[in-house]
Amino acid sequence: MRQKDDKELAQILNRLREGKHSEDDITILKQRLLNVRPGQDNYPMNVAHSFTTNASIDAQNNALYTLSKADKVHIKAVDIIVGDISDDLKKQMKNKISDETMGLHVYALVSLVTATKYD
């Protein structure tokens, strides 16, 4: 759970997910709404953000990556399948993942900021 450092937020989000949230929960969430955008001087880059779509998450991550003044690196992703299975089956699995990605976000190149904590 990415909210592990904010127990109150994790509990509120769980209640919201289960439909058991209170008016106090909504009030607390509304207090956490940001009125600034990435790039503005007072934008809190190191606080938890919540989004409703992967596209919004990707946009946020890309904006923060672009704004960062720290060193950046690009790492080529390599698929590795381990286990006690035949080489033929490993090859079939890799081809299936490469062809279909099974609905997952699969990236061939990962861009990272070197001075950032990743979960």
Note the pLDDT tens digit of each residue in 32-51.
888 888 778 888 877 777 78
* 112 phi, psi to nearest 5 deg: -130, 150
Taking a C-beta distance cutoff of 8 angstroms, is the pair 57, 51 a contact? yes
Look at residues 7, 109, 88 and name the one whose alpha carbon lies nearest to residue 48.
7
Distance CA 9, CA 22 (A): 13
Residue-level pLDDT at 63: 81
Look at residues 44, 50, 53, 43 and name the one whose alpha carbon lies nearest to residue 28.
50
Residue percentage of the chain with pLDDT more than 90? 18
